[in-house]
């Protein structure tokens, strides 16, 4: 029984770490989209330096 409990605990820990990585990746995608929108708005208004800065932040 102890072996089963340890296996379940290990699987829960792994799943939790995977979920955290997925959450971090989704957060990064959101930030990239925000910067892309800022860059587009800056380009549309003719502010090339702000667009360049937004593109650099995306990277």
For residue 16, give its domain range.
Answer: 2-58
Q: How many structural domains is the chain composed of?
A: 1
Span 42-50, mean pLDDT?
96
pLDDT digits (tens, 9 = 90+) for 1-44: 788 888 888 888 888 888 888 899 999 999 999 999 999 999 99
Report yes or no: 54 and 38 within 8 Å, Cβ to Cβ: yes
Alpha helices in the chain (DSSP H): 2-44, 48-58
**Token pair 């003719």: residue:** 46
Burial string for 8-34 (b: 16+ CB within 10 Å, else e) reads eeeeeeeeeeeeeeeeeeeeeeeeeee
């Amino acid at each position: 029984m102890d072996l089963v409990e340890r296996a379940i605990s290990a699987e829960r820990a792994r799943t939790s770490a995977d979920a955290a990585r997925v959450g971090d990746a989704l957060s990064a995608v959101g930030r990239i989209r925000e910067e892309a929108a800022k860059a587009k708005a800056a380009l549309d208004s003719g502010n090339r330096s702000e667009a360049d800065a937004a593109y650099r932040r995306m990277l």
